[in-house]
Amino acid sequence: MLPMLHKHAVITAALLASLSLTACGKKKDVLAPPTEQQTAQKTGAESETSNTNGQGDLPDPSNPNDTLPPLPEPIPDSKTNPPKANPPKATPPKTTPPAKPSTPVPPPPTTELPKQTPPVVSTLPAPAPGTNRLPSDYRTNDAANATNDALSKRMTGAVTEDGLVYTSSSTDDLLTFLRARNEKVGAESRRANLAAAASVLSAKMSVDGLSGDAVVTLKIQEGADVKVYNVAGSSTNGGSASPVKSVRAGNDERTTGARALSGTLKCMDLDGGCETTFVRLQIGTSPNTAIINLVFRNSAADLYFHLPAQNAHSDNPEFLLLQEFAVSTIQRLNVSNKVKTSKISSWEVVNGRSGFMVSLKGVNQELLAFAGPLLAPEAGTGVNINLSRIAKDQEDTLDLISLNNTKLNYANYIGDARLIANNGLGQVRIALKMRKRGNYAQDQFAITFMRRIKPLVDLTDDNLK
């Protein structure tokens, strides 16, 4: 009996030892720290499971002690560790308020052209080649053409606020050629050139008949101020263009502008003369430079007097004297009370303003001279623009001998002068109204000035150099 009991005891001890070994092995598997490979596998498995059912690795339900220790949150990475579906909200970084700006330092003074709205409202596109042809029967000395609305004008390209266009005073295509050439430059250069052209308020050129020295005077709008610039050079008949450079004064005007100004002057007449002159100026210093193209014309003019009918005027002795001045000129009488010289001059800025002056000077040294803007409607010729009286002849300023010979008695008889027609081809008509005197009516008459046009050299880039 005892041996049997001993046998059962031995079997029972063996079973307990087996159970004890099995339980210890399970404990070791749960509590032992995972290896790096196991950690990587669990991290991947947790991420994969979380993406499907929202749970992590599940413990063994048959063993209540089988629980998983919390795993560290993986570092989000778009390639190896994508973030969980609901990552914790990150604390926004603290932003420091920007430092208060210090007192702005004004920019250094500059002599370059300030950016501004051009005084001229807009510019017209350059006409296509061949669109400015004149009819074959056009005559430059036919006064009826001054009011011929069917003719094609030569325009600078600038337009005023009320829709009037600035024109040339000749039939040639010089302005059209220069406008088309400006269209070929880059956009920034073209913009600068247009702004510079629009800033020119007036221009004047005088030439000494003996030496050929030429002086060009410009008045330019710079911000709220008007600055005067003078350049001088030599007016050489024929050949290539001659250089001009800045001078301190000219044409009774002192230079007040501070920007650099230089350029060239070119006589354009086919016969080598200088009735038509092209001046190309560069204003400013690099990189803020611009080109201003100007055309000056100074020619003899044919005249046509529009006088009232014999019984349609008063007996104002001042008007009768002016009427005799006109009639004696028409009939070419050998008297002193008639016109000796008649001229029409103009300045024309390409893509800018233009102006003109007309003058009559008698054998008796009486001067009638008027100036104003060279404007016309885009369609038609009729305008109504006040003109100013010029108190001295341009030749008088260059000839000290005849300086005191000019008389202004006839000019003082005129109370009002207006531009009433401009065909943009060298013909302008001005209306003159007598001043008020006693009980006499203020008689009116008109004069059409018609430029005697000379042919120009061929318009090519080489011929303008």
Comparing C-alpha atoms, which of 275, 23, 86, 18 is closest to residue 172?
A: 275
Q: What is the C-alpha R_g of the chain?
A: 47
- pLDDT in the model for residue 113: 40
pLDDT in tens, the chain (465 residues): 445 545 555 555 554 444 444 444 444 443 344 444 444 444 444 443 334 334 344 444 444 444 434 433 443 444 344 444 444 444 555 555 555 444 444 444 443 444 444 456 678 888 876 677 888 889 999 999 999 999 999 999 999 999 999 999 999 999 999 999 999 999 999 999 999 999 999 999 999 888 889 999 999 999 999 999 999 998 877 678 999 999 999 999 999 999 999 999 999 999 988 999 999 999 999 889 999 999 999 999 999 999 999 889 999 999 999 999 999 999 999 999 999 999 999 999 999 999 999 999 999 999 999 999 999 999 999 999 999 999 877 655 545 555 558 999 999 999 999 999 999 999 999 999 999 999 999 999 999 999 999 999 999 998 888
Domain regions of the chain by residue span: 123-134+145-464
On the CB side of 304, CA atoms within 13 Å amount to: 14
- pLDDT in the model for residue 12: 53
Residues 6 or more apart whose Cβ sits within 8 Å of residue 159 = 120, 121, 122, 123, 124, 165, 166, 378
- pLDDT in the model for residue 236: 76
b/e for 304-330, b at 16 or more Cβ within 10 A? Answer: bbebeeeeebbebebbeebbebbebbe
Separation of alpha carbons 15 and 4, rounded Å? 17
Q: Counting beta carbons within 10 angstroms of the beta carbon of residue 432, is it exposed (0 to 12), middle (13 to 18) or buried (19 or more)? A: buried
Separation of alpha carbons 431 and 444, rounded Å? 7
- Please tell me the pTM assigned to this model: 0.73
Separation of alpha carbons 394 and 403, rounded Å? 10
Tokens 């598997």 — which residue?
29
- pLDDT in the model for residue 404: 56
- pLDDT in the model for residue 430: 98
